[in-house]
Structure 1
Amino acid sequence: MENSSKLNVLILAAGLGTRLRPLTNDVPKPLVPVVDASILDLQARKARAIGNVRLHANAHYLAEQVVAAGETLGFEKVWVELPEILGTAGPLHRIYAAGYRGGLLIMNGDAYCDFDLKKFVESAVARASLENGPQVSLLAVDFPQVNTFRVGVDGRLAGIAGRFGATEGAPATFSGVSWYSDEALSRIREGEFDIREFWKQELAAGRAPFVDMTQLHATWIDMGSPEGLMAAVEARLKELGRDVNEAVVEPGAKIPAGVTLKHSVIYKGAEIQPGETIVNEIRGKGFKWNVPPTPVY
């Protein structure tokens, strides 16, 4: 499988989606529709915009649906993780051990973002080519509610608050987007689960990952909660040039006569009464969530 002409891209899609249940009882979170496409689809489009890439995803919960979507979207492979999920480090080791080369870009299957991925990867590759250059790059955002990263004056990861390393340094939040050289991937051991433990090992060995802080204020939305899902819908509507207060109705959802919809998302199976007014809601089979518009600061 030795082939370094293409960048490998892994979209993490194995999560259980517990914060979005019961919406995710029947569909895995990466396949939840966000206006016109799933996050898996949207992330794949952003990855392909980099250029010459080979797409991968991992899958665990409702894995057969992710496998089918990967085939439809033209993925190289969907790596099913059964009976147990392998964390983040496990899938990275698995791809490298299978012989894939050319570096690996990691993306999350539950994040809506507008990062310049090509710029990120090109910068990461350039840094890695330098003498003693960092072989791992982590893309950061400014998210004050989290901001657990501590970044040293050299731009490298100095620690993670509450876990390891320095308590001082520039604060930032990991976006879930990262790049690993083949050299770095070769050091992830079989059975390793938590990627943060690998970062800790790299830091201790004098090979701390670089933290790219050039896109701190790009759009980055964790769509794993009802509020995040609504924010992702708003962002997608804006990206499509549509009104962010528009109601979005999944194909197949039944809307009775006389219903008024505004700033709402209606999924298949939603129970709606004739003449009902629905505002600031996400509604589907067996649930309805009240979700106000995302605040604008």
Structure 2
Amino acid sequence: MMENDSLNVLILAAGLGTRLRPLTNDVPKPLVPVVDASILDLQARKARAIGNIRLHANAHYLADQVVAAGKTLGFEKVWVELPDILGTAGPLKRIYNEGYRGGLLIMNGDAYCNFDLKAFVRNALALAAQPNGPQVALLAVDFPKVNTFRVGADGRLAGVVGRFGSEEGLPATFSGVSWYSDEALSRIRDGEFDIREFWKQEIAAGRAPFVDMTQLHATWIDMGSPEGLMSACMARMDELGCKFYNDTETNACAMRKCVIHAGVEMPSMAVIDHSILYPGAIVNQDEIIENEIRGKGFKWNVPPTPVY
């Protein structure tokens, strides 16, 4: 058994990345560059700001790459899921069963965000310490396209529209960030796949998860689609305070709000505007590229409409 006082952090990184094919044919979605770093790297940086943590990730698709990245980034362990993926509940119970203690913070490996994770964990721990306090906390955002959460007057999860529970209450969207006490983790059934089934069981037992609504309007972008990837890259450039990011040796072309990665050959007279060029992208002389993500064998037209 591994007893420790560190908070364990699990970044879910086992997805197949189907919405970003063929970009993700050769690289797993959590390692797709968002300007200067992968989402896995950026999420790890945010997690470390909490303080005393142990970093974990799970991996399935192109798992060897995630394992290698985890070693480079100083992860405690990357938990490979083969031959079958374990869903959203299985990875949590696996870490608990291996003896890790100290609570578990879950983050997504495909979300660009600026949450105050330290404040979220602090609030979750304070509530859990109260008599009959919630042992699970879920961080919510306001995303009207989804907003399937229904939150009761007591601040606890009342239901998920189309899945279970009440359809009355305050609407919100699950951000993918959550916290589980060791006690809660012990109650996840071995072989459980969908974490929503666990939430349903907790509600039925009178232990509904707490929904933290204090960061509803924080930046939260699902970068797992072309539109989301574009928005995440634009937001990252804003965060870095740069108008363009050029990782090539070419500086003669006109660049406006764009990302050009190493491995792209840039003609001197090309114009790149609000676009992302990944290795393998072909750019012609005098070409104007606008509102596009381009890479090896693909071009996606992505209008400049934010998705967050």
Which residue number in structure 2 is paired with residue 23 of structure 1?
Answer: 23
Aligned equivalents of 1:11 and 1:150: distance in 2? 25
Structure 1 portions without partners, runs of 5+: none
Which residue number in structure 2 is paired with residue 246 of structure 1?
Answer: 257
SS at match of 1:67: helix
Question: Counterparts in 2 of 1:45-84, with a 5 A limit?
Answer: 45-84=45-84
Report the AA paired with residue 195 of structure 2.
I
Which residue number in structure 2 is paired with residue 96 of structure 1?
Answer: 96
- Classify 1:163/1:268 alpha carbon distance in 2 versus 1 (closer, same or farther; 3 Å): same
TM-score (norm 2): 0.94
- 1:269 matched to 2:280? The reply is yes
Aligned equivalents of 1:121 and 1:275: distance in 2? 52
Which residue number in structure 2 is paired with residue 149 of structure 1?
Answer: 149
Select 1:278's aligned residue among 289, 296, 299: 289
Report the AA paired with residue 290 of structure 1.
N
CA shift for structure 1 position 296: 9.4
264-273 vs 235-244, greater mean Cα deviation: 235-244
Select 1:287's aligned residue among 298, 305, 308: 298
SS at match of 2:61: coil
Which residue number in structure 2 is paired with residue 113 of structure 1?
Answer: 113
CA shift for structure 1 position 69: 0.3
SS at match of 2:187: coil
CA shift for structure 1 position 295: 4.5
SS at match of 2:233: helix
Structure 2 portions without partners, runs of 5+: 245-255
Q: 1:46-68: CA deviations, max 9, x gaps?
A: 00001111000000000000000
Paired residues of 2:231 and 2:307 also in contact (CA < 8 A): no
- 1:40 matched to 2:40? The reply is yes
Aligned equivalents of 1:6 and 1:269: distance in 2? 42
Q: 1:62-89: CA deviations, max 9, x gaps?
A: 0000000000000000000000100010
Paired residues of 2:221 and 2:307 also in contact (CA < 8 A): no
- 1:223 matched to 2:223? The reply is yes
Aligned equivalents of 2:268 and 2:280: distance in 1? 16
Aligned equivalents of 1:137 and 1:252: distance in 2? 43
Aligned equivalents of 1:268 and 1:242: distance in 2? 21
CA shift for structure 1 position 294: 2.6
Report the AA paired with residue 105 of structure 1.
L
CA shift for structure 1 position 275: 1.8
Paired residues of 2:227 and 2:307 also in contact (CA < 8 A): no
Aligned equivalents of 2:146 and 2:69: distance in 1? 32
Aligned equivalents of 2:307 and 2:71: distance in 1? 38
Q: 1:128-166: CA deviations, max 9, x gaps?
A: 011100000000000001100010000000001011001
Give percent identity, aligned residues only. 78
Question: Counterparts in 2 of 1:147-186, with a 5 A limit?
Answer: 147-186=147-186
Aligned equivalents of 1:237 and 1:261: distance in 2? 15
CA shift for structure 1 position 292: 1.8
Paired residues of 2:88 and 2:195 also in contact (CA < 8 A): yes
- Classify 1:47/1:95 alpha carbon distance in 2 versus 1 (closer, same or farther; 3 Å): same
SS at match of 1:186: helix
CA shift for structure 1 position 3: 2.6
Q: 1:251-272: CA deviations, max 9, x gaps?
A: 2222223211111100001122
Report the AA paired with residue 106 of structure 2.
I
SS at match of 2:274: strand
Which residue number in structure 1 is paired with residue 247 of structure 2?
Answer: none
SS at match of 2:206: coil
Aligned equivalents of 2:109 and 2:307: distance in 1? 25
Q: 1:233-284: CA deviations, max 9, x gaps?
A: 0110010012375211112222223211111100001122122111111000
Report the AA paired with residue 208 of structure 2.
A
Aligned equivalents of 1:180 and 1:29: distance in 2? 25
Report the AA paired with residue 289 of structure 1.
W
SS at match of 2:105: strand
246-255 vs 168-177, greater mean Cα deviation: 246-255
111-120 vs 246-255, greater mean Cα deviation: 246-255
Aligned equivalents of 1:27 and 1:254: distance in 2? 21
Number of residues of Structure 1 aligned to a counterpart in Structure 2: 297
Cα RMSD (Å): 1.2
- 1:140 matched to 2:151? The reply is no
